[in-house]
Amino acid sequence: MDQREAFDRIKDRFARTALVSVQAYREGNDVLGLAAFLSSMDDLEQLFELNWRSDMSESALPGIVPILRELKNRIKNQDIAGITDLMEFVLCPAVKELGCSNGNEDRLSG
């Protein structure tokens, strides 16, 4: 599997688990919500690692850092509604756009 395929696979898995987390929290299933949230954060960490190993200076991943800072603040304040909104409406769309601009597709292939 080349880096582009790995990146896309992890990005897709992130999107699925993040949305499962959002849905579970909104339905009151905190156990599933937390498990899916942690899984999605593992996937996001893998995307950062793959980005770093690929040496993609034009990547959009650094733009996600402020979103993660806000996510950390909402977690610290135990704002579950804020966490789910941020994940669904800000973080997931930002991750979805990774590799879709600035020629990142070419720089990821291997």
User: For 9-50, how does the pLDDT look when each residue is reduced to its tens digit (9 = 90+)?
Assistant: 999 999 999 999 999 999 999 999 999 999 999 999 998 888
Quick one: residue 81, left, alpha or beta (phi over 0 = left, psi -120 to 50 = alpha)? alpha
Q: Is the per-residue pLDDT at 7 higher than 60?
A: yes
CB 58 within 8 A of CB 102: yes
- Answering whether pTM is above 0.85, one says no
| Beta-carbon contacts of residue 95 (< 8 Å; ≥ 6 apart) | 11, 14, 15, 18, 44, 47, 64
